[in-house]
Amino acid sequence: MRTRLVAIFMLLGGLIVIALGIPLGTVVSYSTGQRLFLDRTTDTERFASEAARALYANRPALLQSSMNRFREVYGIRVALVDIEYKPVASGGGIRLDRPDVRIAFDEAVAGNTHRDDELITPWSPRTFRTSERVLVDGEPRGAVIMESPTYPARMHVLRYWLLILLGGLLFLGIAELVSIPIARWFLRPVRRMDAATVEYTAAVLAGRPLSDTEIGGGPPELRRLADSVFTMAEALAKAMHAQREFVADASHQLRNPLTALQLRLVAMREALPEDDLPAADAAAAEIERLTRTLDDLLVMARAEQDSGTPEPVLVGAVLEARLAAWRAAAQARSVTLRGSCATEAAVRVHRDGLATALDALLDNAVKFTEPGTEVELAAWDQSGADAAVVAIEVRDHGPGLRAGELERATDRFWRSRRDQNVAGSGLGLAIVERLVRRSQGTIEVRNRAEGGLVVRLTLPASGDQPLAER
C-alpha cells in the first residue's frame, strides 16, 4: 500500500509539473518570438526608410553598403526589391525565386507587415522573415525583405525548456523523498493493525492472552480506528475465553451429578418391578449418552485453548500407539485395523494433539464401518514446492456421506440423518478440525469410490528433534 500511496503522490507531483511547466514553456516561447519579431520589425522599418531615401536620390549603392555591414555584424540578410519584383540591393543570398519570399513581398506591397510564426521552439525554421514596403512620395516603389537566423532564439528557448524540465525532475525527486516518510507515517497504524490482526487471530483461536499493542504515530483518525479495532479484539477474546471456560466448567461440574445419578439408577433398578426395567435401561442409556457428550465438550474446550508450546512429534510412533490402543475395540466389532507409515518425519503439534485427533477419527471409523471390513490408517510425506508436509489418512468401509453433507462434516453437533440412532455427540470431526487448524494444518473429508469415508490430515513437517507422543 505504501507503494501505491507514493505512486499517487508522484502522480500528483507530475500533474503539478505539467500544469506549471507547459504554460511556463509556452510563455518563454512566445516572449522569445515576440522579442525577435519586434527587433526585426524595427530593423526592417529602418531599412525601408533608408531605401526610400536611396530610391528618391537614385543612389542604391548607399543602401548596399549598409546591408553588407548589417550582415557582417549580425548575420542577417536584407534585400531591396522594386515594384517589378527585381532586386535593387542585397546584403546576401535571399532567394527571390522561393514562393514564401514572394508571399512576403506581396504582403508588404499591399501594406501588411509580414511576419513568420511568433512561437519560437527548438524545432522552429532556421530563419525568421519580415518585410516592409518602401514608399516614395506616397507611392509604393518596392519592399525590404529581411531574413534573420533563429538559432540564438531557438537555443535560448531550449535552455529555458531544459531548466524547466530539470526543475520538474528535481521537484519530483524531492516529492518522492518527502512522500516516502509521509506514506510510512500515514500507514503506520494500518501496518500495525495488519500485524496485530494476524497475531490476535492466532491468540484468540488458541485461547492465549492478547499482548499490548502500541500504534506509535500516524494520523489521529487512523489511530482512533486502530484503538477501536484493538478494543474490539480484546472484547472478542474475553468473550470467547469466557465461553470456553463456561463450557469446560459446566462439563466438568455436570459429570459428578451425572455419575451420582447413574449410581442411584443402578441401585434403584434392583428394587424396580419387572415392567419398569425397560424404562430404567432407557434412562441409563440417556445418562450414558449425556456423559459422552460432556466428555466430548471437555475435549473440545481443551482443543480450543492453548495447551503449551507446539512440540515436534514423531508420526510413526503416534500411529503405532493409537493402532495398539484401538485394536481391541475394533476386534469387538469384527473390524480389522491396518496401519502403514511411509515417513520418518515429525510434525509440530500441541501436546497430545495428534493422538487426540487420531482417537476421534478411529472412533468414528470403527463405529461406522461394516463388520468384517478393514479400517486403514496411513501416513506418508507429501512435500511440495512450497513446504514439506505429512499426510495422514483414516479410511473406513462405512456408508460415507452424501455430497451435501461433506461440507458440514466438521460442524459442531452435526450428524447425518442416517446416523441419528448411532451413539455419538457429533463433535468428533469438529474436535479434529480445531486441533489440526491450531497446528497450521488442514483437514479434508471425502467419500471413497469403493464405499466408505476418507479423512485426510495434512500437517507441516518439523525439522526439530521429534518426541514420541503417547
pLDDT-derived band at 245, boundaries 50, 70, 90: low
- What mean pLDDT is predicted for residues 272-292? 76
3-state DSSP of the chain: CHHHHHHHHHHHHHHHHHHHHHHHHHHHHHHHHHHHHHHHHHHHHHHHHHHHHHHHCCCHHHHHHHHHHHHHHHCCEEEEEECCCCEEEECCCCCCCCHHHHHHHHHHHCCCCEECCCCCCCCCCCEEEEEEEEEECCEEEEEEEEEEECHHHHHHHHHHHHHHHHHHHHHHHHHHHHHHHHHHHHHHHHHHHHHHHHHHHHHHHHCCCCCCCCCCCCCHHHHHHHHHHHHHHHHHHHHHHHHHHHHHHHHHHHHHHHHHHHHHHHHHHCCCCHHHHHHHHHHHHHHHHHHHHHHHHHHHHHHHCCCCCCEEEEHHHHHHHHHHHHHHHHHHCCCEEEEEEECCCEEEECCCHHHHHHHHHHHHHHHHCCCCCEEEEEEEECCCCCCCEEEEEEECCCCCCCHHHHCCCCCCCCCCHHHCCCCCCCCHHHHHHHHHHHCCCEEEEEECCCCCEEEEEEEEEECCCCECCC
* Residue 179: inside a domain: no
CATH number at residue 462: 3.30.565.10
| Cβ contact 54:47 at 8 Å | no
Q: Which residues contact 291 (CB under 8 A, 6 or more apart)?
A: 255, 258, 259, 262
Per the model's pLDDT, the better-predicted residue between 1 and 272 turns out to be 272
Amino acid identity at 14: G
| Cβ contact 5:183 at 8 Å | yes
CATH number at residue 240: 1.10.287.130
Q: Say what the pTM is.
A: 0.48
Boundary-marking domain end, from 126, 157, 188 = 157
pLDDT at 114 over 70: no
* Residue 83: inside a domain: yes
Boundary-marking domain end, from 306, 328, 347 = 306
* Residue 68: inside a domain: yes
pLDDT at 1: 65
Per the model's pLDDT, the better-predicted residue between 92 and 164 turns out to be 164
pLDDT at 267: 76
Q: Which residues contact 368 (CB under 8 A, 6 or more apart)?
A: 396, 398, 399, 419, 422, 453
Per the model's pLDDT, the better-predicted residue between 85 and 235 turns out to be 85
pLDDT-derived band at 468, boundaries 50, 70, 90: very low
Q: What is the mean pLDDT of the chain?
A: 79
pLDDT at 126: 84
pLDDT at 413: 64
Amino acid identity at 412: R
240/246 Cα distance (integer angstroms)? 10
CATH number at residue 101: 3.30.450.20
Per the model's pLDDT, the better-predicted residue between 267 and 458 turns out to be 458
Range picked from 133-142, 184-193, 201-210, 429-438 for highest mean pLDDT? 133-142
| Cβ contact 82:103 at 8 Å | no
| Whether residue 459 sits in one domain with residue 322 | yes
How many domains does the chain divide into?
A: 3
Beta bridge partners of 89: 80
pLDDT at 421: 54
| Whether residue 229 sits in one domain with residue 112 | no
pLDDT at 124 over 80: yes
What is the dihedral angle through the alpha carbons of 307, 310, 312, 318, rounded to the nearest 10 degrees?
A: 30
| Whether residue 248 sits in one domain with residue 106 | no
| Cβ contact 156:32 at 8 Å | yes
pLDDT at 159 over 90: yes
pLDDT-derived band at 296, boundaries 50, 70, 90: low
Amino acid identity at 234: E
User: What phi, psi does 351 have (nearest 5°)?
Assistant: -55, 130
Boundary-marking domain end, from 142, 157, 172 = 157
239/420 Cα distance (integer angstroms)? 32
User: What phi, psi does 421 have (nearest 5°)?
Assistant: -90, 0
Domain of 277 in residue numbering reads as 219-306
19: exposed, middle or buried (C-beta count within 10 Å: 0-12, 13-18, 19+)? exposed
- What mean pLDDT is predicted for residues 82-105? 86
pLDDT at 470: 40
pLDDT at 437 over 90: no
| Whether residue 69 sits in one domain with residue 88 | yes
CA-based end-to-end distance of the chain: 48
Give percent of the chain with pLDDT exceeding 70. Answer: 81
* DSSP β-ladder status, 336-342 and 374-381: parallel
* Residue 63: inside a domain: yes
457/354 Cα distance (integer angstroms)? 10
pLDDT at 69 over 50: yes
| Whether residue 368 sits in one domain with residue 302 | no
pLDDT at 469: 44
pLDDT at 155: 92
pLDDT at 450 over 90: no
| Whether residue 294 sits in one domain with residue 337 | no
* Residue 234: inside a domain: yes
pLDDT digits (tens, 9 = 90+) for 387-426: 688 889 999 888 888 777 777 777 766 666 655 555 555 6
pLDDT digits (tens, 9 = 90+) for 20-67: 888 898 888 888 888 888 888 899 889 989 888 888 888 777 788 888
| Whether residue 14 sits in one domain with residue 55 | yes
| Whether residue 115 sits in one domain with residue 7 | yes
| Cβ contact 188:218 at 8 Å | yes
pLDDT-derived band at 166, boundaries 50, 70, 90: very high
205/372 Cα distance (integer angstroms)? 41
| Whether residue 312 sits in one domain with residue 299 | no
| Whether residue 299 sits in one domain with residue 402 | no
> Quick one: which of 379, 466, 465, 363 has its CA closest to 424?
363
- What mean pLDDT is predicted for residues 350-361? 81
Cα four-point dihedral sign 87, 92, 98, 101: negative
| Whether residue 449 sits in one domain with residue 319 | yes
| Cβ contact 144:124 at 8 Å | no
